[in-house]
């Protein structure tokens, strides 16, 4: 088949395979190899491994990936060397992709600790759980670095397939299966949009490489760009689905509610981060010259997400659904940064995603604990009197919620400040004002949970449930998230510097 294909394209009789600079792809390779080895080991040693091995293993692999990022970061920061693109320009290694990869790995570490406790409690088997987290992170990392639309699609699918399975992981719970299936069906639908969009773009420009798309558009003015615009629109739909922006958000509440709580946290933090990374790379960099066309759509998506996310979160009674809608509103905030289509906006979006990763993983770690055996206690009632029963847990939850609401001295405030500032600098006053107003509406919802924890008398039956246990894994996640939320809220400098530097670039340099 290859032969006919090659003949058809007239590339000659010898297949030229691109050279792969392995060392530059170290983070992705570590994640993939780690996950693969893990799966094999888990299958071979089934039943003979302790449960916590999976979580610790995933954390170690993700940690190793983060470590491998450090020398690469220094290399691409060096002005003499600069960013690289590898595998024939298909994957870019720049500070943007490295920043996102590090963020995803951090999310894997925290989520796998939460998951460890969850699996223990639910009596689930499971190194696969943690290993799927690794695979998802690898997919996300490929998305962040993709310089080619096809590579981007592969990244999205690797990420999504892993997360579909994760959502359905609690096989004994019908809602978990339903969640996985729903996510899979709708995700497939959205992927089709994305793929069709890529195809149209290829049709219009003759290439799927973002670099060549960019230069193609720079060199000529299209008299008839209908094909390209169609491609843009469909790709936008695909990404908007992945980030959970309104009106492509319908799956979010159902899937978030049904998926195992640690997975929900990972979806909110990591899947969103990866999807936004892809979106920033394709639209803000690749289609920068068409920004005037796609920006109004992104702006409309932002407003819709902000308003619907905030308003719908208020009328929910299930905390996981509240948080699902709140994640939609958060997506709206990040879209402000995308809409700005500027270096500042990109940096603000990245900062927001980093902040949301910490807050969301912390929040869902608490949700995991409160959910109790069977992962079912997610109504507001379950939180009543938590302030008395587990003061530490309630305090941490309050911190995460207030941070999400954007209270000063937490990282959430600075994150919101950053994207709103980017919107104002891009003269998007309406967006900025809508963002601020909806933040107030969302605050009401966050405070509802806080009030339930502290001021509402707990029903007699909720006291009967006895003491909530906080396993060590969840404790670690909550502790790290609290520290990140507070410390980076007071001393945001280091993270700000990183996110300011982490701008996506498209280069043809095949660094060696």
Distance CA 275, CA 438 (A): 23
33 versus 314: smaller Cβ distance to another protein: 314
Residue 86: CB minimum distance to another protein, A? 33
Residue 321: CB minimum distance to another protein, A? 9
Single out the residue of 73, 118, 248, 364 in contact with another protein (rule: CB under 8 A): 248
Contact between 305 and 329 under an 8 Å Cβ cutoff? The reply is yes
Q: 466: alpha, beta or left, given left = phi > 0 and alpha = psi -120 to 50? A: left
27 versus 489: smaller Cβ distance to another protein: 489
Single out the residue of 251, 283, 352, 446 in contact with another protein (rule: CB under 8 A): 251
- 236 is a contact residue toward another protein (CB under 8 A): yes
Other Cβ atoms less than 10 A from the Cβ of 78: the count is: 9
- 426 is a contact residue toward another protein (CB under 8 A): no
Stretch that binds another protein, among 86-94, 114-122, 230-238, 356-364 (CB under 8 A): 230-238
Single out the residue of 233, 456, 507, 508 in contact with another protein (rule: CB under 8 A): 233
24 versus 416: smaller Cβ distance to another protein: 416
Minimal CA–CA distance to 264: which of 361, 366, 348?
361
Phi, psi of 91 (to 5 degrees): -125, 130
- 493 is a contact residue toward another protein (CB under 8 A): yes
Residue 428: CB minimum distance to another protein, A? 16
- 207, burial (CB in 10 Å: exposed 0-12, middle 13-18, buried 19+): middle
Angle, vertex CA 33, rays to CA 57 and CA 271, nearest 5? 75
Both tokens assigned to 248: 């492509």
Minimal CA–CA distance to 112: which of 31, 187, 37, 176?
31
Minimal CA–CA distance to 357: which of 164, 152, 156, 103?
103
- 237 is a contact residue toward another protein (CB under 8 A): yes
Single out the residue of 43, 171, 314, 436 in contact with another protein (rule: CB under 8 A): 314
Stretch that binds another protein, among 59-67, 241-249, 280-288, 398-406 (CB under 8 A): 241-249
- Whether the link from the prior residue into 496 is cis, omega within 30° of 0, is no
Residues near another protein (CB under 8 A), total: 38
Distance CA 280, CA 271 (A): 14
Name every residue whose Cβ is closer than 8 Å to that of residue 348 and which is 6 or more positions away in sequence: 336, 337, 340, 415, 418, 419, 421, 422, 499
Largest CA-CA distance found in the chain, in angstroms, rounded: 78
- 189 is a contact residue toward another protein (CB under 8 A): yes
Which residues from 440-459 bind another protein, rule CB under 8 A? 441, 444
123 versus 203: smaller Cβ distance to another protein: 203
Binding mask 62-91 toward another protein (x if CB under 8 A, else -) reads ------------------------------
Single out the residue of 6, 56, 225, 379 in contact with another protein (rule: CB under 8 A): 225
Binding mask 292-311 toward another protein (x if CB under 8 A, else -) reads -x--xx----------x-xx
DSSP assignments along 121-145, one per residue: HHT---HHHHHHHHHHHHHHHHHHH
- 221 is a contact residue toward another protein (CB under 8 A): no
Residue 182: CB minimum distance to another protein, A? 5
Phi, psi of 384 (to 5 degrees): -60, 130
Residues in contact with another protein by the rule CB under 8 A? 181-182, 185-186, 189-190, 193, 225-226, 229-230, 232-234, 236-237, 240-241, 247-248, 250-251, 253-254, 293, 296-297, 308, 310-312, 314-315, 417, 441, 444, 491, 493
């Amino acid at each position: 088949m290859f032969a006919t294909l090659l003949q058809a394209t007239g590339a000659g009789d010898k297949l030229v395979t691109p050279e792969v600079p392995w060392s530059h792809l170290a983070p992705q390779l570590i994640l993939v190899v780690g996950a693969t080895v893990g799966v094999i080991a888990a299958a071979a040693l089934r039943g003979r491994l302790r449960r916590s091995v999976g979580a610790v293993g995933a954390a170690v692999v993700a940690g190793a990936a983060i470590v491998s990022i450090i020398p690469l970061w220094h290399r691409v920061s060096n002005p003499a060397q600069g960013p690289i693109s590898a595998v024939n320009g298909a994957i870019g290694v720049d500070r943007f992709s490295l920043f996102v990869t590090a963020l995803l790995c951090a999310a894997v570490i925290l989520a796998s600790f939460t998951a460890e406790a969850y699996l223990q409690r639910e009596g689930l088997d499971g190194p696969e759980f943690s290993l799927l987290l690794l695979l998802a992170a690898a997919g996300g990392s490929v998305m962040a670095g993709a310089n080619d639309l096809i590579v981007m699609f592969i990244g999205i699918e690797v990420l999504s397939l892993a997360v579909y399975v994760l959502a359905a992981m609690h096989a004994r719970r019908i809602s978990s299966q339903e969640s996985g299936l729903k996510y899979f069906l709708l995700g497939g639908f959205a992927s089709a949009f994305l793929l069709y969009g890529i195809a149209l773009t290829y049709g219009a420009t003759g290439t799927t490489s973002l670099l060549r798309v960019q230069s193609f558009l720079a060199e000529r003015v299209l008299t008839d760009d209908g094909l390209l615009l169609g491609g843009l629109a469909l790709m936008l739909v695909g990404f908007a689905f992945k980030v959970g922006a309104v009106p492509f958000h319908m799956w979010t509440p159902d899937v978030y509610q049904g998926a195992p709580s640690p997975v929900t946290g990972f979806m909110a933090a990591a899947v969103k981060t990866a999807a936004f990374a892809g979106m920033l790379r394709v639209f803000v960099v690749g289609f920068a010259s068409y920004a005037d066309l796609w920006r109004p759509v992104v702006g409309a998506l932002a407003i819709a997400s902000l308003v619907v996310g905030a308003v719908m979160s208020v009328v929910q009674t299930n905390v996981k659904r509240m948080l699902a809608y709140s994640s939609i509103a958060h997506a709206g905030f990040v879209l402000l940064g995308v809409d700005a289509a500027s270096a500042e906006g990109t940096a603000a979006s990245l900062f927001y995603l980093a902040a949301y990763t910490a807050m969301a993983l912390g929040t869902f770690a608490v949700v995991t604990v409160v959910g109790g055996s069977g992962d079912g206690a997610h109504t507001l009632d379950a939180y009543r009197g938590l302030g008395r029963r587990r003061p530490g847990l309630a305090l941490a939850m309050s911190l995460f919620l207030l941070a999400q609401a954007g209270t000063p001295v937490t990282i959430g405030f600075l994150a919101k400040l950053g994207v709103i500032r980017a919107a104002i600098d891009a003269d998007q006053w309406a967006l900025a004002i809508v963002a601020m107003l909806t933040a107030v509406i969302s605050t009401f919802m966050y405070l509802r949970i806080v009030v339930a924890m502290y001021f509402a008398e707990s029903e007699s039956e909720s006291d009967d449930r006895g003491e909530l246990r906080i396993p060590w894994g969840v404790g670690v996640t909550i502790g790290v998230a609290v520290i990140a939320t507070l410390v980076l809220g007071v001393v945001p400098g280091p993270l700000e510097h990183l996110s300011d530097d982490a701008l996506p670039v498209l280069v043809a340099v095949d660094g060696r």
